[in-house]
Amino acid sequence: MDTVTTLAAARERRAADRVAGKTVAFVPTMGSLHEGHLALVRRARELGDSVWVSIFVNPTQFGPGEDFERYPRDLARDAELLAGESVDVLFAPATGDMYPTPPRVTVGYSGLENVLCGASRPGHFAGVGLVVAKLFNIVEPQVAVFGQKDAQQALLIRRLVEDLSFDVRIEVAPIVREADGLAMSSRNAYLSPQERRAAGVLYRALEEAAEAIRNGERNPAEVERLLAGRIAGEPLADLDYASCVDREDLRRPAIIGRPVLLAVAARFGSTRLIDNLLIDPRGETT
């Protein structure tokens, strides 16, 4: 595995792949890797000749008072895990390299960035869009793999790619979960043992809501009540949102007729966790 840490070195390495006629499959991450990330890497392996992974804790997607400083970082361990997956290139730039000057351009999505996670994290998706656009311009991947874990992010990246004509195919891989259903996340490391046990409520709530839809519930407000009630029943959970929205426009439909995204966010202590399920009222769940 080659590790490159500057934009210039990344561009040089990218040129070598081009000369060798290799297609690039790219997985952007913030590091502190777990099985969820590695599943994306394995998917990338299937999709391209040369697998690139970036590790960059992007300051522009963290708001004031969020966990940018304390976000877990362990590049040596991450590099070992990636080498074990036969990754070709690890791109780990320094903040000053990615942002030599404070960025002047902002990325907007006509309001889609202000709902769900965007409502409680103003500016978050602008920062995500900016860094992903920059990474795409540096790595120039043919395919990029994102996780369904961050459902709103995956949707907004698709819009970014379509609207700005990035020549990259976006693949979205399923959520990897712990044995009790908790979605894997680098932030799970913040949880105390009690909070970790309590956090299992998110998936249980989503599963119950999905079951209600499978059993014929078609009122999204009722599904949201069920989700919120179940999470509120866990004393250590502080609910941020529990939403049942159309998977494309992220708005609550009048009735559930098309695939919906059940999305939840809650704090356990100071740790904010998210999870979701995509439900097709005609039967499929992912």
What is the binding site for ligand AMP (CB under 6 A)? 29-30, 36-37, 39-40, 146-147, 149-150, 173, 175-176, 183-186
| 8 A C-beta contact, residue 275 and residue 242 | no
- CA–CA separation, 191 vs 120, rounded Å? 20
> Among 29, 40, 34, which Cα is nearest to 77's?
34
Strand partners, 4: 91
Q: Which residue is nearest to ligand AMP (CB)?
A: 147
State the nearest-atom distance from the C-beta of 149 to ligand AMP, in Å.
Answer: 4
Q: Which amino acid is at 255?
A: I
170 by DSSP, 3-state: which? Answer: strand
Residues labelled as active-site residues:
37
CA 111 to chain centre: 19
Cβ distance to ligand AMP smaller for residue 184 or 256: 184
Cβ distance to ligand AMP smaller for residue 88 or 150: 150
* Phi/psi of residue 233, nearest 5 degrees: -70, -15
State the nearest-atom distance from the C-beta of 28 to ligand AMP, in Å.
Answer: 6
Here the tokens at position 60 are 């522009």
State the nearest-atom distance from the C-beta of 40 to ligand AMP, in Å.
Answer: 5
| 8 A C-beta contact, residue 273 and residue 265 | yes
* Phi/psi of residue 151, nearest 5 degrees: -60, -45
- DSSP character at residue 65: T
Cβ distance to ligand AMP smaller for residue 157 or 213: 157
State the nearest-atom distance from the C-beta of 44 to ligand AMP, in Å.
Answer: 11
Provide the edge-to-edge strand list for the sheet that holds 143-147. 2-4, 89-91, 50-55, 24-29, 143-147, 169-173
Here the tokens at position 75 are 């590049």
Cβ distance to ligand AMP smaller for residue 40 or 191: 40
Cβ distance to ligand AMP smaller for residue 185 or 243: 185
State the nearest-atom distance from the C-beta of 251 to ligand AMP, in Å.
Answer: 22
CA angle 212, 215, 219 (to 5 degrees): 55
